[in-house]
Structure formats: structure tokens, C-alpha cells
Chain A
Amino acid sequence: MAARLSATGTGNALELRGVTKLFGALAAISDITLSVRPGERRAVLGSNGAGKTTLFNCITGDFRATQGTVRFFGENISEFSAHERIRRGLRRTYQISLLFTGLTVLDNVYLACCGVSRGRFSFRRPGRNDALMSSAEDLVRVVHLEDIRNRVVAELSYGQQRQLEIAMALSGAPRLILFDEPAAGLSPAERSELIEILTGLPRHMGYIIIEHDMDVALRVAESVTMMHNGRIFKEGNPAEIEDDPEVQALYLGRGHE
């Protein structure tokens, strides 16, 4: 144990070494080496097809990486299945909302709370003072959905569904959350609400956020990783990335001021 800890040394929340994912001959990501400190807030930028979502899938175990190791708070989780990684404090949201549309808002969050607790096999319906249900109520409040918590998810607006995704990622005791384009398709008003929710998260919860909207990404992140063609292209703080001429040429285009 001690040897293993000293081998990783740094005490990072997340540490990737040479992570590669091949789909046949196509390398969706290749040789990604990345470390995220506990509580760090990181944005991942990159054009379509840069491998951002594949990177997320390899971290959470939706896909197993072809090569390389993934360490989560020092523990090698490369061979773990998705649910084992989630139970260790990793969370994620999906680019396309994957919600249970026939259930109410509260039940969706309740289900997320069950998944990371021992109550997941319970045959008992939640009672009036159910601990999981009350933590679900709290999370619904965090994402400002308390007024519609008994509404069926299918009736919610797109923006509300995105907020619900975030609430579900906050269930239990998350240590690192991966947000996959949470702002995509949101109105300007909903975007500022999203920024408020993200910046209002407790400091010990680190996150990695994939975001196309530079304004959102640079306001909610302390560090930025640029990806291009499945590789890490640049890393730095938001100001450096924004001013980098290569990044501007590659990603921001000429029209960006």
C-alpha cells in the first residue's frame, strides 16, 4: 500500500498515463497524460472529434482504455467497471441527457442517490423521513428545480433537463465530476444560472468540464486543457490559453475578439 502510494506520489485526484483508445485502426485519443489536483476545476476544449467525450468515457469506464492507466486518488482504476468507479466518488453527466423521462424530477435524483448508497437493492419504498429521499430533495434545491420536483421529466424544458443531469451527478459524496457540455443548447439566461451553480459548488468538489462556449469555460475553470486530434495540444490557465496565438488559430478562428 505504502509502495503504491509513493509510486503515484503526487496525491492527485485524477492521473492519466498514456491513455489510448482505439476503435479499430482509429485512435480516438492517443497517449493522453493528464493530472488533476483534488478540488481543481479544469476545462477541456477542442473542436468536434478532438476526443473529449472519449476521454471522459475512458475515465468513467463507459469504455475501457486500450492502453494506459487511470488513477483516481492514487488508486489504479483502469480495470474497474463503471459502477465501481462511480462508487469511489467519480461522477459524470452526458452530452445528450440520459434521464428517465417517465419519472419525476425527484425520483430521478432519488435513483441517483440510491446508486451510490447501500440502499440500491432495497425492497422498501422511501418513507416520510427517508435519508436518501431528503438528500435528493436537497440536490433538487441546489439546481433550482424545487418548484417542479414532482413534474415528470418528459414535461421539462431542455434547460431544466440539463440542470437535472447536474443534480444527479452531485448525488452521494462526489470527489470529481465530469461535465460533458452542460451548457450546450442553453439560453443566455440559463447559461448564467449554470455558471452560478457550477461556481457555487463546494470547494472540495473538483470537476472537469467539456465546453465549447469559451465564455462559460473560462469563467468556471481555473486551468484549461486544449485537445486536438485525440492528443493534448496545450495546457495552461485561462488567460494563457486565450492569448495563445496557436490556440486562436486552431480553435477560436479569426472572428474571435
Chain B
Amino acid sequence: MTVAAQNDLGGRPEPRSGTSAAAGTVAVLAPWYERVPGAYWIVGFLLLIMPLLASDFTLFQIFGWTFILGMIALSLMLLAGYGGMVSLVQMTVATLAGYMIAIFGTSAITGISLGWPWWITIPLALIIAMIFGTAVGALAVRTEGIYTIMITLAIASAFFYFTRQNYVIFNGFSGFNGVLPPKLFGVDWRSAKAFYYLTLFWAAVSYFVVLYISRAPFGLALQGVRDNPRRMAALGFNVFAHRVAAYAFAALIAGIAGILLTWQSAQVSPGTGGIGPVIDILVITVIGGTRRPVGPFIGAFIYVILKTFAIDILISMGLSGDRFQLLIGISFLLIVFFSPDGILGLWDRWNENRRRDPLTGQAVVREGGET
């Protein structure tokens, strides 16, 4: 793979220097650590030393939550950005995984929770989440566009009402509280620093796996299916199976995030997967942008900041604090109005303009340096 490998198949090729593409045979590659863009080193380093800089509240509530929501939005980005399928069921998959660790593992609801050890409950929860995600996918990929959104929203609402009314398994309205992570290696994983690193680790793993498979046969074919399903069938790809497989993989990411989310709040209830949170995941993904896997994390960060501080801002302006949803809604409208492809789209356009000569509008060729 050369540097000319793009992020989106159908997109316009970005005005790159062209030197790497025209060179024909690729010369000896630099060692991998020199090929990793500088931005990765800086962001990675900052995230690693964050516990030295930030308060426990910031680590646990802002970053922990950002990474978790970012992972759920990432699973939607995989489906929507690479697969062209907007699924509203990702938050539901996450909630289901959370319920599963509460039901099979330990919680304060001892009448229902089975108290199995973590090394059974976690894989079991993920497998059940994947089966559920795959089943929803098999149903949803028969539809296109707005109908995919409608059918997944219908499933998400059905799950919400079912968990609220079922007391035998899901404990109805109140759900489960006291769902705590195992004290593995003697660490309290709900302490701010430990939880920060736990969520950072899984967010980074999901991010890099999604980034990696975007250029592997599975990811390439998924983008091919998005752009031209008929052509992909004529190349021997089973379009249906490929789309369903994407749902299964997205469900795995959402499932991991769902378990972390349950540990963070130590509880899971119907509201965790309610219609509001389901829509929020879509909002996060759209705010961030679906072109690249980093978008959902940017969107999640903005969302968490707004959700956490909107009340303070409103009160300081003399307004009622319970109107914070209004502020989130307005920000969403503004971003979508100015950049339909989210913050990533803004960033890309700014980068492109920066590379143009301000007088002639011609693209200026620069050596390397860009990500």
C-alpha cells in the first residue's frame, strides 16, 4: 500500500503531491515508527500522560465517557461510513451487553443475577451482543436508506419497552445497579485513573482495528459494496453476507463499549438504551463525521463536553439549567448546517484550503507532512 491509499473509495481523490503515486515501484520503506504521522505521537503521548494533568472527574467522567460513546459511535461509523448503512441499533447492542454482564455476573439485584465469574460473563455478554447485532443486521440489510433507519429504530424502541416491562429477566423499570468490574490484578477498575486507562485501551484497540481493516480485503470490499453492490456481486462477493458480517463486527465493538458503560455508571436500566441515547449516538457520529474512524471520537468529545457543562453555561446566563438539550441541539444544527460531513469535513476543507495559493487558488505541492 502506498501513501496514495485513500480513506474513501467513492470519494474524490484528494489533491496529493502525486510523487508517491507516480514513482511506480515503491522504494525501501522507512521503519514503521517513522511512517506514523507526527499527530499520532502527540495525541498518543498526551492521552498517556493525561492522568498527570487532569482531575479525577475529568478522567472518569469526561474522557472515560468520551471513549465509551466514541466506541459505540465508531461501530456506527463502520456501518454508515464504510458500509453505507445507518443503523440506530448500536446503542441497543451496547445496552444488551451491559444487561448480560449484570444478569450473568453480579449486581445488587441478587434475586436475578447469577453471579458467574467475569471470565465467563464477559465473553458470554459479547457473544450474545454479536448474535443480536447479526440478527438485526440480517433483517436490516434487506432494506436501504431511510428504511434501514426505520427498522433499526423500531428494534431499538421494542428493546427499550421490552426491558422496561420485563421483570423476570431485565428487572423492569429500575434495571440493575451495583454492577461493578472485577478486581482483576488487585486494581479497582472504577477508580478514575484505572478506568481512564481501561477505556483508553479499548478505544485505541477498536480505533486501530477499524483503521486497519479499512484497507484489508474485508474493509475494502465493504466500501465496494457501499459504492456499487452490483459490481461487487459480479466480482464474486456475496453482498448480503458481507453487510451482515459488518453488523456482527460492529456489534462486537458496541458490546465492549456497553460493558464499559455499565461499569462506569455501575448500573444498567431501560433508559441506558432509550430512544434519547439511541439518537445521541447518531448525533455524535454525524457531528464527528463518518469519513474516518477518528470522527466518532471527536463527536463524542464535543457531545460529552456539551452535556457536562451546558447546565453550568445556561445557569451562568440566567437560564434554566434543564434546557441543556436545547444547547446540544443548536450545536448539532450549526455543525450540520456548516459542514454536512461533520467536524472531519470542516478539517479536511480547511486543510485543502491551506494548501492552496491564496492568490491563484492553485494547489501548492508540498513534500509529505500531511496525514
Asked if A171 and B21 sit within 8 Å, CB to CB, the answer is no
The verdict on B2 contacting chain A, using a C-beta distance below 8 Å, is: yes
In the assembled complex, the CB of B134 is this many whole angstroms from the nearest CB of chain A, namely 14
Number of A-B contacts (CB under 8 A): 125
The verdict on B43 contacting chain A, using a C-beta distance below 8 Å, is: no
The verdict on B12 contacting chain A, using a C-beta distance below 8 Å, is: yes
Q: A60 contacts which chain B residues (CB < 8 A)?
A: 234
Asked if A122 and B10 sit within 8 Å, CB to CB, the answer is no
Asked if A102 and B6 sit within 8 Å, CB to CB, the answer is yes
Asked if B245 and A98 sit within 8 Å, CB to CB, the answer is no
- Tell me the A81-126 residues at the B interface (CB within 8 Å): 81-83, 86-87, 92, 94, 98, 100-104, 107, 110-112, 114-116, 119-126
A148 to B11, CA, bound (A): 20
Asked if B216 and A115 sit within 8 Å, CB to CB, the answer is no
In the assembled complex, the CB of B220 is this many whole angstroms from the nearest CB of chain A, namely 6
- With A122-B216, A152-B6 as given contacts, are A111 and B234 in contact (CB-CB < 8 Å)? no
Interface size class of B (residues with CB under 8 A): 35 or more
Pick from B9, B217, B218, B236: contact of A86, CB under 8 Å: B236
Chain-A contact segment, one of B190-198, B223-231, B258-266: B223-231
Asked if A62 and B4 sit within 8 Å, CB to CB, the answer is no
The verdict on A10 contacting chain B, using a C-beta distance below 8 Å, is: no
Asked if A102 and B237 sit within 8 Å, CB to CB, the answer is no
A69 to B285, CA, bound (A): 48
Q: B1 contacts which chain A residues (CB < 8 A)?
A: 125-126
In the assembled complex, the CB of A107 is this many whole angstroms from the nearest CB of chain B, namely 7
Asked if B234 and A82 sit within 8 Å, CB to CB, the answer is yes
Asked if A86 and B234 sit within 8 Å, CB to CB, the answer is yes
Pick from A86, A107, A172: contact of B220, CB under 8 Å: A107
A202 to B224, CA, bound (A): 29
A168 to B215, CA, bound (A): 18
Asked if B13 and A98 sit within 8 Å, CB to CB, the answer is no
Q: A92 contacts which chain B residues (CB < 8 A)?
A: 234
Pick from A86, A104, A112: contact of B21, CB under 8 Å: A104
A123 to B208, CA, bound (A): 12
Asked if A103 and B6 sit within 8 Å, CB to CB, the answer is yes
Q: B4 contacts which chain A residues (CB < 8 A)?
A: 104, 150-152
Asked if A123 and B216 sit within 8 Å, CB to CB, the answer is yes
A13 to B238, CA, bound (A): 24
Q: Which residues of A contact B (CB under 8 A)?
A: 60-62, 81-83, 86-87, 92, 94, 98, 100-104, 107, 110-112, 114-116, 119-126, 132, 147, 149-152, 154-155, 168, 171-172
A-B pairs, top 9 by smallest CB distance, nearest first, are: A115-B235, A115-B236, A82-B233, A86-B236, A116-B236, A98-B231, A114-B217, A152-B13, A102-B9
Question: 17 additional contacts, CB 8 Å, given A101-B9, A120-B237, A150-B21?
Answer: A81-B233, A81-B238, A98-B228, A101-B13, A102-B9, A102-B13, A103-B6, A104-B2, A104-B21, A111-B220, A112-B235, A115-B237, A120-B221, A124-B216, A125-B216, A151-B4, A152-B21
